[in-house]
Amino acid sequence: MADKDNTPQNKWWKSAVIYQIYPRSFADSNQDGIGDLQGIISKLDYLENLGIDAIWLSPVCKSPQDDNGYDISDYQDIDPMFGSLQDMETLIAEAQKHHIRIIMDLVLNHSSDEHPWFQEAKKSRENPYHDYYVWRDGQEGVLPNDMGAAFGGSAWEWTPEVQQYYFHQFSVKQPDLNWENPKLRREIYDMILWWMEKGVGGFRLDVIDQIAKEPDRKITGNGPRLHEYLRELSRETFQKGNLVTVGETWGATTELAKLYSHPDNSELSMVFQFEHICLDQMAGKEKWDLAPLPFLKLKEVLERWQTQLCGKGWNSLFWNNHDLPRIVSRWGNDGEYWAESAKMLAILLHGMQGTPYIYQGEELGMTNIQYEIQDYRDIETLNVFKERLERGISKEEIMRSIHAKSRDNARTPMQWNDEENAGFTEGKPWIKVNPNYTKINAAKQVRDENSIFCCYQKLIRLRKEYSVFVDGIFHMLCRENESIFAYTREDENFQLLVLCNFYDSTVNNPLEKPDTSAKLIISNYQDTEWNTFLRPYEARMYIKDKRTSSMSE
Ligand code: TEU
Ligand code: CA
Per-residue pLDDT reduced to its tens digit, 292-308: 999 999 999 999 999 99
pLDDT of residue 8: 66
Closest protein CA for atom 8 of ligand 1? 150
Closest protein CA for atom 20 of ligand 1? 70
- Name, in order, each residue with C-beta under 8 angstroms of 284's C-beta and a sequence gap of 6 or more: none
pLDDT at 436 over 80: yes
Distance CA 376, CA 385 (A): 10
Q: What percent of the chain has pLDDT over 90?
A: 96
- Least Cα distance to 246 among 225, 262, 268 occurs for 268
Which one of the ligands is nearest to 176 CA? 1
pLDDT of residue 440: 98
Per-residue pLDDT reduced to its tens digit, 387-420: 999 999 999 999 999 999 999 999 999 999 999 9
Q: What is the mean pLDDT of residues 17-26?
A: 98
Per-residue pLDDT reduced to its tens digit, 139-197: 999 999 999 999 989 999 999 999 999 999 999 999 999 999 999 999 999 999 999 99
- Ligand 1 atom at minimal distance to the Cα of residue 287: 12
Mean pLDDT estimate for the chain: 96
pLDDT of residue 551: 47
Residues with C-beta atoms within 5 A of ion ligand 2:
28, 30, 32, 34, 36
Distance CA 357, CA 362 (A): 10
Rounded to the nearest whole angstrom, what is the distance from the C-alpha of residue 70 to the centroid of ligand 1?
Answer: 8
Catalytic machinery residues: 206, 248
CA angle 32, 38, 40 (to 5 degrees): 105
- Name, in order, each residue with C-beta under 8 angstroms of 485's C-beta and a sequence gap of 6 or more: 299, 348, 498, 500, 502
pLDDT at 3 over 50: no
Kindly indicate the confidence band of residue 485, based on its pLDDT and cuts at 50, 70 and 90: very high
Q: Report if pTM > 0.95.
A: yes
- Burial (Cβ within 10 Å: 0-12, 13-18, ≥19) of residue 415: buried
- Name, in order, each residue with C-beta under 8 angstroms of 266's C-beta and a sequence gap of 6 or more: 231, 234, 235
Distance CA 88, CA 82 (A): 9
Distance CA 270, CA 272 (A): 7
Rounded to the nearest whole angstrom, what is the distance from the C-alpha of residue 35 to the centroid of ligand 2?
Answer: 5
Q: What is the mean pLDDT of residues 33-55?
A: 98
Which one of the ligands is nearest to 26 CA? 2
Beta bridge partners of 545: 494
Beta bridge partners of 56: 20, 103
Lowest mean pLDDT among 4-18, 28-42, 178-192, 291-305: 4-18
Rounded to the nearest whole angstrom, what is the distance from the C-alpha of residue 413 to the centroid of ligand 2?
Answer: 12
- Name, in order, each residue with C-beta under 8 angstroms of 340's C-beta and a sequence gap of 6 or more: 333, 524, 525, 535, 536, 537, 538
Distance CA 302, CA 352 (A): 9
Handedness of CA 325, 329, 330, 331 (dihedral sign): positive
pLDDT at 548 over 90: no
Rounded to the nearest whole angstrom, what is the distance from the C-alpha of residue 173 to the centroid of ligand 1?
Answer: 14
Amino acid at 238: F
- Ligand 1 atom at minimal distance to the Cα of residue 67: 19
pLDDT at 1 over 60: no
Closest protein CA for atom 2 of ligand 1? 207
Kindly indicate the confidence band of residue 4, based on its pLDDT and cuts at 50, 70 and 90: low
Q: Following CA atoms 97, 103, 352, 277 in sequence, which dihedral angle do they give, to the nearest 10 degrees?
A: 140
- Ligand 1 atom at minimal distance to the Cα of residue 109: 23
Which one of the ligands is nearest to 410 CA? 1
pLDDT of residue 382: 97
- Give residue ranges with CB within 6 A of ligand 1: 67, 70, 107, 150, 170, 206-207, 248, 250, 287, 322-323, 380, 407
pLDDT of residue 10: 76
pLDDT at 552 over 60: no
Helix (H, G, I), strand (E, B) or coil at 228: helix
Which one of the ligands is nearest to 82 CA? 2
Q: What is the mean pLDDT of residues 324-331?
A: 98
Per-residue pLDDT reduced to its tens digit, 230-255: 999 999 999 999 999 999 999 899 99
Kindly indicate the confidence band of residue 138, based on its pLDDT and cuts at 50, 70 and 90: confident
Residue to mutate (ligand 1; options 58, 213, 322, 323; most atoms within 8 A of CB) = 323
Rounded to the nearest whole angstrom, what is the distance from the C-alpha of residue 323 to the centroid of ligand 1?
Answer: 7
Q: In this structure, are residues 353 and 489 in contact, taking their beta carbons and an 8 Å threshold?
A: yes
Distance CA 540, CA 16 (A): 22
pLDDT at 116 over 50: yes
In 198-337, where do the E strands start and end?
Answer: 202-205, 244-248, 270-272, 316-317
Q: Following CA atoms 274, 56, 51, 416 in sequence, which dihedral angle do they give, to the nearest 10 degrees?
A: -100
Taken as a whole, the chain contains a residue count of: 553
Distance CA 38, CA 29 (A): 6
pLDDT at 26 over 90: yes
Helix axes 182-197, 226-236, angle to 10 degrees: 40
pLDDT of residue 450: 98
